Amino acid sequence: MNSESNKLSSEEETRMIDSAFEALLDGYIHSNHRQKTEVIKRAFAFARQAHQGVRRRSGEPYIMHPIAVATIVSQEIGLGSTSICSALLHDVVEDTDYTVEDIEAQFGGKVARIVDGLTKISGGIFADMTSTQAENVRKLLLTMGDDIRVVLIKMADRLHNMRTLASMPPQKQYKIAGETLYLYAPLAHRLGLFAIKTELEDLSFKYEHPEVYRQIEQKIASTATQRNQVFNHFAAPIRERLDQMGLRYEFKARVKSCYSIWKKMERKHVPFEEVYDLYAARIVFECPDDTREAGMCWDIYNAIAAAYPNKFHTGRLRDWVVNPKANGYRALHVTVMGPDGNWVEVQIRSQRMDDVDEHGLAAHWKYKIGSEAEDSALTGWLQTVQDILKNPEPNALDFLDTIKLNLFASEIQVFTPKGDLMRLPKDATVLDMAFTLHSEIGTHCIAGKVNHKLVPLSQRLNNGDQVEVLTSHSQQPKPEWEKFLVTARGKTRLRAALRHRRRAIINEGESKLRNWLMANGIEMNSDTLMRIVNTEHVAGKDELLFMIGNGEIAVSDQLLRKVRPQQSTSLLDRFWRNPFAPAKGKDGADAQQHDIDTREIYELRTTDGVSNYLIAPCCSPIPGDDVLGCIDDEGRVVVHKRECPTAMLLKAGQGGRLVQTTWAGTGRKFPASVYVEGIDRMGILQEIIYIISTNMAIYLRSLNIRADQGVFRCDLDVLIEDATVIANLCKRLKKVKGVGTAVRIN
């Protein structure tokens, strides 16, 4: 751009500013808001004077930017005088010597607080460090919780900056376009600002891929005539019927945006020509009586059905009229096979619904109707955001992921057993629903019932499912659950619960250890702790206390030796110098490791949490099982079950390495699995879990349930001391009404 030839005289500039402001005021006067032009005029005069003499990079007087932002706020988002004033003043505190107090003195607390919020988030989102970036996003969302108008005005600010991005140097263009696509476009989507979201995406795309953008734009233009013909051909029979009904309506073809066409080309790996559903059509009708809105949508649906009998795509009927999306979107979508053999999506909606779609929920304030469903949908989403912010992720990257997840998710609708509607993101699971209902329900969730069938907590839900969440007091949250969760709220709540639980177990371990040490006349100080940490080979103090609290490390007399090494007996001494020597050896201390005496019986023992043997992963034997040992290349005893196929092979090939073993007292717990099968009935799972956790105090590691046609199957992973415990468990499980099988499995 040649700035010389474009240079305006100062009178011309004044006229340009005045007429831009006149246009803003004119739009406002014609809106449904209460008419408060006086304060808007004052805000304009204040901002104009504050930015006096300052220019934007484009050479324009700076005040043109706040006017443009205020115009977007008023005409494209539909907000009122408080927001218009705040938009006019949004850069005053940031860029001039005026303070928030000055604004407050002139325009009152409401405007001052919004301008303050905007000033706080005026920096960019992207930063060199992830943590800074997370902090910036957090700040932005926090202000949103304070007053949603802050973020709406920020959207308008960003939109105007994107519209004028050409005057920025290229490296800044990339950064701003990247941020817009990363955060602002999804946020606009979530807030229901569909038109702004589309424009932000298109503008970002234009600066990030200028060449592709230009090509797509050109192709859209060159196919316009043909598309129009197809559309008119398609629309004619529908128009005829709508006219007969005496409706006042607009029937338009909709072209996808460059960005969404490009995304589809990328996602489906197809050229432009094959993105055939370029055409969607929209019928916007006038509806003088709000109570007739939904009925008229279906009247129009019937008209289309009459024009195109048997041409409906039954799987793609979407009724967002009765149950609007969380961002407030309402419309009836039908997909019809057009005369040229392509599917055409027709969106049916009233003038009011159309307005909400274009301008977001903010448009409701204009109408002052504020239907409860729509209000609570946005409030619900804001609540989720607050939730995430209240339980901050220690890891910045996790935090950003969580936020992104929440912004992008498309939704399904499910029902509670009482028939209440809930919105969840696509692919949400029973566990997601549980956490959405309440943290406590989530952490105690054991399974669910979808349409009255028992399903595991990992079950994905579908649109329209009726879902009951089953809980148990003894259930505890598990780290593995995270992979079953798609909702940001679920993930945040699970992580918080896990942190909380870990803390509780550590505290439990600490008091357990402290009491036990005290009983033995030893003070628990960091010295004592570190000695145990080192001999137990655990990661640190917290890890040690966690394992003690968890029962993975037992506080036994053997632990004493670690804190009082001088008390060790000569027998133990010998054992520790060569733990793999036969326990009944004549002089085990001097025995060679690989000098295998197959006549000896090896005693398998765990001393102070360290075992002198390894459990073969192929058959996972536990104390009480018939086992045999095999000395491996390092001289360690690997324990197999007698009937283990690997052990059979070893017997055949390496007989010389096999030794007999016997279980000595263990201070260790072993993983084992139980399979339960039976006739499904209400409450059976709770009973099973009650027996395991409460009755027998067995540590339950995981639970996997499948239910099919009244039969349920369940895999339990537990930690137990020996085989008798598991035999007892199976015996007791079989007594539960409905259970047919309860057996130990590998």
Residues acting as catalytic residues: 94-95
Query: Please, is 539 exposed, middle or buried when counting C-beta atoms within 10 Å of its C-beta (0-12, 13-18, 19+)?
Result: exposed
Shortest gap between Cβ of 195 and Mn ion (angstroms)? 20
Which residues ranging from 660 to 719 are in contact with Mn ion (CB under 5 A)?
none
Q: Which helix (H) or strand (E) holds 661?
A: strand 658-663
Query: Please, is 586 exposed, middle or buried when counting C-beta atoms within 10 Å of its C-beta (0-12, 13-18, 19+)?
Result: exposed
Q: Which helix (H) or strand (E) holds 179?
A: helix 170-179
Q: Which is nearer to Mn ion, 180 or 607 (CB)?
A: 180
Find the part of the chain contacting Mn ion (CB under 5 A) among 48-56, 154-162, 294-302, 315-323.
154-162
Q: Which is nearer to Mn ion, 204 or 611 (CB)?
A: 204
Shortest gap between Cβ of 495 and Mn ion (angstroms)? 36
Give residue 341's region: left, alpha or beta (phi > 0; psi -120 to 50).
left
Q: Which is nearer to Mn ion, 87 or 707 (CB)?
A: 87
Q: How many other β-carbons are positioned within 10 Å of the β-carbon of residue 537?
A: 9
**Residue count, binding to Mn ion (CB under 5 A):** 2
Shortest gap between Cβ of 113 and Mn ion (angstroms)? 18
Beta strands in 217-342 (DSSP E): 249-255, 279-285, 318-319, 332-337
Query: Please, is 569 exposed, middle or buried when counting C-beta atoms within 10 Å of its C-beta (0-12, 13-18, 19+)?
Result: exposed
Binding mask 88-127 for Mn ion (x = CB under 5 A): ---x------------------------------------
Q: Among positive and negative, which fits the CA dihedral 129, 132, 136, 142?
A: positive
Find the part of the chain contacting Mn ion (CB under 5 A) among 83-91, 258-266, 313-321, 663-671.
83-91
Whole-number Å distance between alpha carbons of 329 and 374: 9
Q: Is 60 in the site for Mn ion (CB under 5 A)?
A: no
Q: Which is nearer to Mn ion, 158 or 493 (CB)?
A: 158
Q: Which is nearer to Mn ion, 184 or 399 (CB)?
A: 184
Cβ atoms 621, 646 nearer than 8 A: no
Find the part of the chain contacting Mn ion (CB under 5 A) among 86-94, 171-179, 191-199, 491-499.
86-94
Shortest gap between Cβ of 65 and Mn ion (angstroms)? 6
Between vectors from CA 566 to CA 562 and to CA 571, what angle results, nearest 5°? 85
Whole-number Å distance between alpha carbons of 35 and 28: 8
Give me the DSSP letters along 445-464.
EEEEEETTEEEETTPBP-TT
Find the part of the chain contacting Mn ion (CB under 5 A) among 153-161, 250-258, 370-378, 457-465.
153-161
Shortest gap between Cβ of 14 and Mn ion (angstroms)? 21
Q: Which is nearer to Mn ion, 157 or 393 (CB)?
A: 157
Shortest gap between Cβ of 435 and Mn ion (angstroms)? 38
User: 700 pairs with which residues across the strands?
Assistant: 718
Cβ atoms 686, 470 nearer than 8 A: yes
Whole-number Å distance between alpha carbons of 271 and 341: 19
Shortest gap between Cβ of 161 and Mn ion (angstroms)? 7
Find the part of the chain contacting Mn ion (CB under 5 A) among 156-164, 586-594, 648-656, 734-742.
156-164
Q: How far is CA 729 from CA 158, 673, 697, 732, 740, in A?
A: 63, 11, 11, 5, 14
Q: Which is nearer to Mn ion, 151 or 714 (CB)?
A: 151
Q: Is 465 in the site for Mn ion (CB under 5 A)?
A: no
Whole-number Å distance between alpha carbons of 320 and 421: 13
Q: Which is nearer to Mn ion, 87 or 698 (CB)?
A: 87
Query: Please, is 405 exposed, middle or buried when counting C-beta atoms within 10 Å of its C-beta (0-12, 13-18, 19+)?
Result: middle
Give residue 52's region: left, alpha or beta (phi > 0; psi -120 to 50).
beta
- C-alpha gyration radius of the chain: 35
Q: Is 157 in the site for Mn ion (CB under 5 A)?
A: yes
Shortest gap between Cβ of 702 and Mn ion (angstroms)? 52
Shortest gap between Cβ of 203 and Mn ion (angstroms)? 16
Look up residue 589 and give its amino acid: A
Comparing every residue's Cβ against Mn ion, the nearest one is: 157
Find the part of the chain contacting Mn ion (CB under 5 A) among 85-93, 171-179, 381-389, 515-523.
85-93
Whole-number Å distance between alpha carbons of 392 and 395: 8
Q: Which is nearer to Mn ion, 162 or 533 (CB)?
A: 162
Find the part of the chain contacting Mn ion (CB under 5 A) among 84-92, 168-176, 528-536, 576-584.
84-92
Q: Give the binding site for Mn ion (CB under 5 A).
A: 91, 157
